[in-house]
Structure 1
Amino acid sequence: MTDSTLFLAGNTPDAPRSDLPDLLAALAADLRRVEYTLDGVAGLLGESAYLALNRDQLIPALLATERALDGARAGGDPAGGDPAGGDPAAAALAAVVRLWLLAEPQARATLDAALPAIGADGLVALGLVEPVPGPALGDPSGPDSSGQDLFQARADLRPYGWDANEDGSGGAELWVASDLAAHQQAGVLRHDHVLGIGQASTTLVQTTVRRHVSKALDLGTGCGIQSFHLLHHAEHVTATDISARALAFTRFNLLLNAEALHLDPARLEDRVSLRLGSLLDPVAGEEFELVVSNPPFVITPRTLGEEASGQFTYRDGGLPGDEIVSSLVRDLPSVLAPGGTAQLLGNWEVPAGAAWPERPHSWASADTDAWFIQREQVGPEQYAETWLQDASESRDRQHYKDAYAAYLADFASRNVAGIGFGMVWLRRPPGSGPNTELISRYEEITYPIEQPIGPHLGAAVERSDWLAANSLADAHLLVADDVTEERHQRPGAEHPGVILLRQGAGLRRTNLLSTELAGFVSACDGDLSVGQIIGALEALLGGSLAGEEGFDAEAFRSGLLTEVANLVRDGFLLPAEFSE
């Protein structure tokens, strides 16, 4: 059987099986019963241990679960501060947490008691656990001190979810399977490692503008996290990956969470299409209203004659430099429907002596809306350290030295002084023509921003579209609710030397105001139009400004109008109809 046939059949080697519906249903029922959820795990561990676990620090969680198990065995002592209090349910949850989140082997009897519907044998059949290889204590089957068989996690399975909207819609509690992470196993990660829920994937989740669409594409799905969110606002999702194992994990996760994702397990294809292939090859000739991608954007040294099996498929695109991201920026508009958008994360190289936007700007098509936000820039050394540690390649000193040197030589060959990371938003404009005003923004925002940022990005696009379609001079504006003003002046000074406008939400920008622009903002209560306020300011300031050499009243009006448009675009000022 081919790789694609195998993952579609639900029985891909070294991946959980999704062709055993009764066992999947039993597992889901058991996990719900022991409250293996984000809140359930947090409640069991306590706040400090739970936060440490989120930093991949396992010891506090190990200690907390040991206390829970010891308390259950001894009958519990709530007065003594025992978190389990002798509660068998807490002990069952502790065993599940130890098995998957902490990668601690568990005895057969423990698993059978904690997950009675599926039991240890069912977990083995699904490919989620395996017997601990012997000999252990002289027995090849690997028993514990009581003579019971021990089982270890073969894959990571952890709770994941998000809150519902204010109207009660859209929330979900799920379980996500992936390969064991570096902190859960010894040695270097396998090259076809299927990444779990990481910082990059959650960043893309928070960045995506959520709107109802008929067709969405999850390009490079990995374990499927982006698809889970898309299914809550897309009628159909196509998920692609170059890795058959990744698609097998995605299929397993979709079917395990079929109820929460509103899927019919017997008719998965009605809402989800899983396709094997590289980049846009699996969807050539199709169009989507929304594309999201956390692509394998890591810039990795390439060697002559290397094969794909020598790359980490979850992060290495197989192309030199930043070509994986540049090719996507150039080609994604070809699969977008009119008005369709694409959002992705990426790295880009910054050559010595160049401004960071130069390369990204050269990738964007002249007939495509593009918005790049650089969130971080690091040097070649820090970049090499980050990704060598990511795959546990620092555990072998000689390998680490050779790989580190290869990174530095690779960047030096292209005169790279820095590597940027950030968010990319693209759109195929809904219309075309010589008067179409495209969005073209390249900005660096390295400070903390509000999350999720997706709604604010969507609102910014709406404001840009409004500016392109309306006469700003005729508009009535209001100051956004989250905006405050700061004034700084020397002691005893008659007027402030610095006036700042700050946003408390969204991208949390700060804008330095001129005296006339500050006066304009203070008058934005919705009563007067933009043109009327500018006219009043010109009349009010005319006496002092008219005496200035070279003062041009028309330039004053047009310059102020441009600055006002920027405040609207950035969300400091809003058209009155936006607040209705």
Structure 2
Amino acid sequence: MGAVVNSEGHVLPSPVPAADSAERIRSALLAARFTPDGLLELLGGVAYAALARNETVPARRALQSDGPLETLVRLFLLQRPVPEEHAGWALPLDVALADGWLVPADPGAAPPGGPVVRAAVDIRPYGGPEGEDWWIVSDIGCAVGGAAGIAGRHQDVVLGVGGASTTLAGLTVRTPVDRVLDLGTGSGVQALHATRHAAEVIATDVNPRALAFARLTLALSGAPDADLREGSLFEPVADEPGFDLIVSNPPLVISPDTRFEYRDGGMQGDELCRSLVRRAAGHLTRGGYLQLLANWEHREGEDWRDRLTSWVPDGCDAWIVQRDVQDVTQYAELWLRDAGDHALGQTAYEARYDAWLDEFEQRSTTAVGFGWITLRATEAEEPSVIVEEWPHPVEQPLGDVVRAHFARQDFLRATDDASLLAQHFRLAEDVAQEQVGMPGAEDPEHVVLRQNRGMRRATQVDTVGAGFAGVCDGSLSAGRILDAIAQLLGEDAVGLRDRTPQTIRRMVEQGFLEPVPAP
């Protein structure tokens, strides 16, 4: 039995397997070592990495036998039919067929020799942060190969784990909390992570099929149940107590389209992301975090930083990082390819392309930014709002980096310059100093401090800044270090104390220096 297609050529939604049999399926997957480690050992690093790019040919070429693990790879990763007999070696066949994990394949889809079956869902091995063996369940056939996009798919298609999912999971602050909200859960990746450190997890989505897949993801991964609720944005939790953490990988695409629930939010421009940010403050506990991925418009005559700053609600600190930016033609082409519109024929493709550019032109949008937004609910009189561009490589996971960022804002806010000079500091462990200059020169032209982990920032410092950072081991106060530098350089100590606090604040804010208790 193949996919069900309507008269317009669209694939109709397939039934979602029953979760009742998830434990038996999970046991079979573990027994066959259908796990990240098992796949890496079977396929090798090159083919395994190719699967993460949705390229299947190297994995197909790496399979040399018909054992249980190889059969599961063919079924769920290569999405090829296999003989029913082989499927029975890897899975409890009666349950897998009865509950809809597998379905009979088309006659002739596999070599002759008996009935064949195919996967009805996508099951992807996924490694948890502490080495857990998890699996993400989603609709089949949406990512494999990647060349055709999701052309012809039904509106409520549910995608599996991807780069956006793993980015958000790595960004999220993972301290133990009471309540977490996963807003727009999709296949349940963020909810799965949240079950490790939250007493209660509520996951919402406008798409009931997404909630069904999220339930499968949790059950198949052996995770605690989450409270799954249907609805848009904060509607399903309108009368709930506050949350300690809200995470969201929302339908963030700035699109004139409404075809696909997983990406098209149905609001004009970047209004959905703005609305989510603006409304979050009313659903956070004191000190609670909102963390989401977002797209935002760059409009003619308007600084995008000012635009993002205006989104931040009262009573919240914010750290907003733009990771990439595309002009409107690049952005439109990206999502037209994602929808498979290039396969519609030149006339239809150009009409869709025109619709995207017309939409951007109406709002004077010249480009679209991609990035991360983190809010933290605070009672500070002057919240910290930092909006920056950082397109350079970072080292995930960044959850501890995010938490430390806001802790530093608290410290700087509570510390005047006199107290700052009395404070002891330590150079962060991952910071190296680089001297840049002409070979043979007596003094370097520039001194750069560089982080080797986390955000991997680099900052240029002068002689005083380099000397200060170089001796910060927590043993002396900042003021005493500056007095020693002034004596060494023959400078006025009072003047140096007056002009250096701003440099110290910048190095603390960016994570180069860490305040420590006096010995």
TM-score (norm 2): 0.91
The answer to whether residue 200 in structure 2 is matched with residue 236 in structure 1 is yes
Contact 1:294-1:344 at 8 Å conserved across structures: yes
Contact 1:18-1:251 at 8 Å conserved across structures: no
Contact 1:367-1:438 at 8 Å conserved across structures: yes
Whole-angstrom distance in 2 between the partners of 1:327 and 1:412: 22
How does 1:410-425 map onto structure 2 within 5 Å? Answer: 410-425=359-374
Partner residue, 2:132: 172
Amino acid at match of 2:136: V
Partner residue, 1:550: none
Partner residue, 1:292: 247
Partner residue, 1:445: 390
SS of residue in 2 equivalent to 1:51: helix
Whole-angstrom distance in 1 between the partners of 2:344 and 2:420: 62
SS of residue in 2 equivalent to 1:395: helix
Whole-angstrom distance in 2 between the partners of 1:98 and 1:399: 35
Contact 2:142-2:159 at 8 Å conserved across structures: no
Shift of 1:36: 0.7
How does 1:69-108 map onto structure 2 within 5 Å? Answer: 69=66, 91-108=67-84
Contact 2:281-2:315 at 8 Å conserved across structures: no
Stretches of structure 2 lacking an aligned partner (at least 5 in a row): 1-12
SS of residue in 1 equivalent to 2:304: coil
How does 1:73-472 map onto structure 2 within 5 Å? Answer: 91-115=67-91, 118-119=92-93, 121-133=94-106, 136-137=107-108, 144-146=111-113, 148-164=114-130, 171-184=131-144, 187-258=151-222, 261=223, 263=224, 268=225, 272-286=226-240, 287-302=242-257, 310-397=258-345, 398-429=347-378, 431-432=379-380, 436-470=381-415, 471-472=419-420
Whole-angstrom distance in 2 between the partners of 1:94 and 1:316: 37
Whole-angstrom distance in 2 between the partners of 1:395 and 1:183: 16
The percent of aligned pairs where both chains have the same amino acid is 40
Whole-angstrom distance in 2 between the partners of 1:206 and 1:491: 41
Shift of 1:452: 0.7
Partner residue, 2:18: 18
Amino acid at match of 2:75: L
Partner residue, 1:45: 43
Whole-angstrom distance in 1 between the partners of 2:386 and 2:166: 23
Task: Report which stretch shifted further, 30-39 or 44-53.
Answer: 44-53
Q: Deviations over 1:113-158 (max 9, x none)?
A: 222xx20x4223222222224xx45xxxx77411x22222221012
TM-score (norm 1): 0.82
Stretches of structure 1 lacking an aligned partner (at least 5 in a row): 1-12, 70-90, 165-170, 303-309, 547-552
Shift of 1:491: 4.5
SS of residue in 1 equivalent to 2:167: helix
Whole-angstrom distance in 2 between the partners of 1:40 and 1:332: 41
- Over aligned residues, Cα RMSD in angstroms? 2.3
Whole-angstrom distance in 2 between the partners of 1:125 and 1:559: 74
Which one of the candidate residues 488, 503, 506 is aligned to 1:563?
A: 503
Distance change >3 Å, CA 143–CA 103, structure 1 → 2: closer
Shift of 1:448: 0.7
Whole-angstrom distance in 2 between the partners of 1:161 and 1:297: 26
Amino acid at match of 1:370: A
Contact 2:179-2:245 at 8 Å conserved across structures: yes
Distance change >3 Å, CA 510–CA 184, structure 1 → 2: closer
Shift of 1:188: 2.9
Amino acid at match of 2:344: D
Whole-angstrom distance in 2 between the partners of 1:145 and 1:101: 22
Whole-angstrom distance in 2 between the partners of 1:459 and 1:190: 42
Amino acid at match of 2:238: A
Q: Deviations over 1:68-120 (max 9, x none)?
A: 23xxxxxxxxxxxxxxxxxxxxx1111111011111011211212222xx20x
SS of residue in 1 equivalent to 2:342: coil
Contact 1:502-1:508 at 8 Å conserved across structures: yes
Whole-angstrom distance in 2 between the partners of 1:293 and 1:236: 16
Distance change >3 Å, CA 513–CA 143, structure 1 → 2: closer
How does 1:526-565 map onto structure 2 within 5 Å? Answer: 526-538=474-486, 541=489, 543=491, 557-565=497-505
Which one of the candidate residues 442, 452, 461 is aligned to 1:504?
A: 452
Amino acid at match of 1:400: Y
Shift of 1:405: 1.9
Q: Deviations over 1:497-518 (max 9, x none)?
A: 2111111111111111122222
